[in-house]
Structure 1
Amino acid sequence: MLSDLGKTLDIAREDRLLLDETCRLTERLADSVVDNGFARHFVPERWNGGAGTFTALLDAVSELAETCASTAWCAALYAAHGRLAGYLPEAGQREIWCEGPDVRVAASVVPPQGSAVRTDGGWRLTGRWATASGVDQAEWMLLASWAALDDDPAGETREHRIFAVRRQEMKVLHTWRPVGLRGTGSNTVEGDVLVPDHLTFTLGDLGRVQPHAARCHAVPFALVASLVFAAPVLGAAEGALRTWWETQIRRARPDGGTAVQPLVLARASAHIQAARLLLERVAQRGDHAPVTPVLVAENQRDVAVAVELCGTAVDELFRTAGLRALEEDDALQRHWRDITAARTHGTLDFGSAASGYASALLAARAGEETR
């Protein structure tokens, strides 16, 4: 179902200026994302969800991001958060999806914010959580906080705990006015709610293999988490390249030729194609490969490199596009702003990925030497 994006792409084109003005998705665009199957993509099959693949999500999100990275970002996260909600206890899953799998779930899970205090049968969750993308149109939220372990009420040892809360129980603060990804509506929420035990799980639970689970629920969070944020970057880069090329071939020289810049074209297109190959391999590993710590680190490395390749390519495209690209409504500028904003996300940091990759290789080597 994710492949049939025609209507959503048409709405995204029509509503792009509204997204920039209001800093959120329009209601009809958010509804169309659901109609396309993004919210249900990773929902477990027992709730009539898709239990889909990472490859299919990469393809659909990148295609959508060629037109609107903000829409693609929210679509990717609605899918990803449906996957995370699948780690709730069964009673919690039933509460979220009892009426069907097409439920939009927003989240703010890294880093933990607010406070969580144990109560009878649940938790009191209080505080403020930033950058919850797509929250205005969400029905549920996943919010993370540090929480004391059950056997340590003094709170000297803590765990990263995630809580599912109905969005209507939280107040949305419209704090999102960024330079790029404006339409994601990544606003702040605040509240003071009681959360029963069946609507919470820990970050450690994301590595738990569920009985009879589909592949998408049987891989560790770290293996695929960054791919969700890289997919919109890839599509935006492909959209930027197409926009730049179309402008170049229309630009006439005095001798009647065109102003195509072959070095820029060749380098940028190669970088973006290389990024796609890297991200396709990341998705295929998520769908099929035996999981090891080194594989997790390789995925994180490849995602970070792919995003760097896209960013470098689009920086050069923007720099060589001429004065037209400086206009506020220019499509290339929009792609450049969106990619620039996306690259600040912590999961896409190359330095962290590089350190993790080196550590994983050293640990694997040490393990081999002790055998």
Structure 2
Amino acid sequence: MSSGSAWHDAGALDTAAGAAGRGAESADAAGRLAPDTVEALAAAGFTSAFAPAGQGGAGATFEAVTRAVAAIGEGCTSAAWLASLWAYNGRFSAFLPEEGREEVWAKGPGTRLVSSMVAAGVEAEEVDGGWSLSGRWLYVSGVEFADWALLSSAPPREGDRSIRVFAVPRDSFTHEESWSTLGMRATGSHTLLVERAFVPRYRSFVWDDMRRGSLPAPAGSPAHAAPLFAVNGLTFAAPVLGAARAALRLVEQHLGKQPSGARAAARETARIAYTRAACEIDAAALLLARVAATADGGGLAEDGAAVRNHRDATLAVELLVGAVDRLFHVTGTRGQATSHPMQRIWRDVHAAGSHAALQFEPAALAYTQRLIAA
């Protein structure tokens, strides 16, 4: 694979997108992605996109990963979610000390990392050489397919230097099937369990360093050094962008059929709704493109750029959710049928859009904080 904007192999990405699309309906029904979809995502290079360079990282850009994840999302939002998290969890691993990075990536760039900062009842007792870790972590997407997990010692709080992230191998954790939701059903975001696992010091880092993008020298690249909330919105917004584009295509097909009866009378209204949704989706894509370009081009050093990125990503998702609502309404009763993909997309987009990282209100408060402090 080449680096930068051409990080991925186009053929492998097309194969992964095709597998995701073909398996989307059955994945939604079963509540898990099919193994062939998971393998295709790995073959497309999502695991190595942001892996540290010394551990086989592909040197991807935020723009390239966003575009590739959205392409998967046009077929299956849950598959795109997993692909995106694999990429961004690889980025998180750059904050480990060198020995820890080498151990986590020992099997190569195909290593599958999951993460959770939603800690529940965690005990991290300091022992000789590290910690004894026990606890539960919620919403660990892709845990069934994981090689390693990055787990916080407590729910993160800005500026709190006591909260650590631990790298735990597959043989030290299990999972409990707890994910049963209206949308994003196939992400497999189950509860991860650890019981008295030893974590050496070199397999841990301070969460606040990741928040600020403060890397251990000489690890990582500018992509790794980006502050968490300056780029974290891309992780979860890119699958939604792909899903919204899929919904737009469904309505294009819907409008291409000659209407009759009440549908004929509402045809102009439907065309207007479709056009507005298309504009909203394009506008969201442009916002996300600016978020990625700012991070890729070194623009995060500019005053206010990081909080603007966070603002833009959350607003983009609001636009996408609204667009899918319009499109869902256009398809009417047909789109609500359990056999119709529109209702799955509608459920997925609303579920994904509720993620904590995509809420506009905290982003807006952070964006305006400079005005209050001035």
Instruction: Calculate the TM-score normalised by the size of structure 1.
Output: 0.91
Q: Which residue of 1 aligns with 2:218?
A: 211
Report % sequence identity: 37
How large is the RMSD of aligned CA atoms in angstroms?
2.1
Q: Aligned partners of 2:284 and 2:344: how far apart in 1?
A: 20
The superposition leaves residues 278-299 of structure 1 with CA deviations (integer Å, 9 ceiling, x where unpaired) of: 0000001111114245111100
Q: 2:275 aligns with which of 266, 278, 284?
A: 266
The superposition leaves residues 54-110 of structure 1 with CA deviations (integer Å, 9 ceiling, x where unpaired) of: 000110011110110000000000000001011111101111112311111011024
Shift of 1:175: 0.8
The answer to whether the aligner puts 1:249 opposite 2:256 as a matched pair is: yes
Q: Which residue of 2 aligns with 1:178?
A: 181
Aligned amino acid, residue 244 of structure 1: V
- Partner SS state of residue 101, structure 1: coil
Q: 2:96 aligns with which of 71, 77, 88?
A: 88
The answer to whether the aligner puts 1:298 opposite 2:325 as a matched pair is: no
Q: Does the 8 A contact of 2:52 with 2:93 survive in 1? A: no
The answer to whether the aligner puts 1:346 opposite 2:356 as a matched pair is: yes
Q: Aligned partners of 2:19 and 2:79: how far apart in 1?
A: 10
Q: Aligned partners of 1:290 and 1:298: how far apart in 2?
A: 10
Q: Which residue of 2 aligns with 1:6?
A: 14
Q: Does the 8 A contact of 2:119 with 2:137 survive in 1? A: no
* Deviates further, 315-324 or 76-85: 315-324
Q: Aligned partners of 2:300 and 2:17: how far apart in 1?
A: 36
Q: Aligned partners of 1:6 and 1:79: how far apart in 2?
A: 17
* Deviates further, 235-244 or 110-119: 110-119
Q: Which residue of 2 aligns with 1:107?
A: 115
* Deviates further, 111-120 or 255-264: 255-264
Q: Aligned partners of 1:284 and 1:360: how far apart in 2?
A: 23
- The alignment covers a number of residue pairs equal to 355
Q: Which residue of 1 aligns with 2:340?
A: 330
* Deviates further, 284-293 or 257-266: 257-266
Instruction: Calculate the TM-score normalised by the size of structure 2.
Output: 0.90
Q: 1:26 aligns with which of 12, 28, 34?
A: 34
Gapped regions of structure 1 (runs ≥ 5):
148-156, 367-371
Aligned amino acid, residue 211 of structure 1: P
Q: Does the 8 A contact of 2:94 with 2:219 survive in 1? A: no
Aligned amino acid, residue 288 of structure 2: L
Q: Which residue of 2 aligns with 1:194?
A: 198
Q: Does the 8 A contact of 2:120 with 2:135 survive in 1? A: no
Structure 1's consecutive aligned runs of 4 or more residues displaced over 4 angstroms after TM superposition are 110-113, 254-258
Q: 1:167 aligns with which of 164, 170, 173?
A: 170
- Partner SS state of residue 153, structure 2: strand
Closer, same or farther: CA 134–255 of 1 in aligned 2, 3 Å: closer
Aligned amino acid, residue 148 of structure 2: W
Q: Aligned partners of 2:258 and 2:171: how far apart in 1?
A: 51
Aligned amino acid, residue 357 of structure 2: T
The superposition leaves residues 319-364 of structure 1 with CA deviations (integer Å, 9 ceiling, x where unpaired) of: 221111111121111111110000110000011111010003444x
The answer to whether the aligner puts 1:131 opposite 2:150 as a matched pair is: no
